[in-house]
Structure 1
Amino acid sequence: MSENTHCILVVEDEKGIRNFILRSLESSGYQVISAENGREAKELFLSKCPDLVLLDLGLPDIDGVQLIPLLRDWSNVPIVIVSARDQESEKVRALDLGADDYITKPFGISELMARVRTALRHRGVSLTAQPEMDEVFHIKDLVIDMRKHQVLKAGKEIHFTGTEFKSLALLAKHVGKVLTYDYILGQIWGPHAKNDNQILRVNMANIRRKLGENPAEPKYILTELGIGYRMLEDEE
């Protein structure tokens, strides 16, 4: 396979898992560098400027969660957590600190590669960015036009309330990324709605109903239980 121009930093202290990830990425043509601990990770991040970071949280010298804000201060490159920690609170904390995605061990290589491709496609997007008023998003058969305040599905217009439209546009802006409940609430309703997930659930249910989506087989919006929501891409 031809060489990929993307460089990926793998931060993983378990040799077997690290080598498995390295071989998988290299066989797909990516350039790969690796670190066994937080100190090496910081040095390689600053010297090599990778396009994406795969970060384990259980490092020998530092909790990987502590690395996230440091890396985010230096760059907006995607950070995908690869960890055995499967508690919802751990996932939410990592995502709120600036991680772009979270994969729980054990994982399938096809899932890992799909998440890597998704993150790289959107590596220039910051989670703190707001949708620009003149942007047009194309997600599957949806067209979301910010200037016209219009949503088309397969060419047919669907009416959304102002809050529903802003929520859909926010997810589209960050397509493929998990947005936590608190992040969405803060962006759409402001800090006064903190922890009021019920209003968000009702809002998302209305959006899905208008999109004609079956929550059991989501086509557009995936619920990450206990964490938040993700706008799906064609590949997923």
Structure 2
Amino acid sequence: MTSTQQPQPLLPTRNDPASPLHYPAAQTCLLLMDFQNFIIEMCGPVGTAAVSQAKHMLDWAHKNDILVLHSIVDLGAPPASNSKRKDRLIALVDSLKKQPQAVAEHEDLAFNQHVTNDHIVLKTPGIISGLKARGAMELLAERGIKSLLICGLSTSGCVLRTVVPATDDGFVVSVIRDACADPKEGLHEVLMGEVLGSRAWVVGGEEFRREWEG
């Protein structure tokens, strides 16, 4: 008779304040960043795969009554007048305004006004970090959030730019590895393996959910 070997845990135990498992649902937030159709298309097949994994995380968050922030680019707002990329951003915004479906959040992940814990926060064009979306930090503070679960496109953009300041601000941060992607081949793996892991817990969505439920 053989016994089934249990997977080794990837996260510290619930007794450790550095672990996302230490914090209850009420102190946890799932941050879905930039899952707009034009960004998914830029990422190609890896972007589509990340959407699928982010959908699993969204369903799990809804089931556990976890706060969800949908952070997306607000194409109705002008970029900052002193932005180095202002002219390029204005041209991009003008082009995308003619393609409403392109700027919409993917239908599988779209903000749902009928779900109490779903919130949408908007970023001015040129702003990368999800924490810099209007009202994001205020809502996190109001709800007493201590632990952030990060899913987003792209890894070298909003994910990296959110993880670093979030850890500086004292959040426990978990990056859901397979719910992120990058259009530049190989860059996602390098960032996950060599950069983000020094600041945050980098773990697959299935593994995270299994350890949370365990």
Q: Same fold (TM over 0.5)?
A: no
Higher-Rg structure is 1
The answer to which structure, 1 or 2, has the higher relative contact order (CA under 8 A, 6+ apart) is 2
TM-score bin, normalised by smaller chain: 0.3 to 0.5
Tell me the TM-score normalized by structure 2.
Answer: 0.39
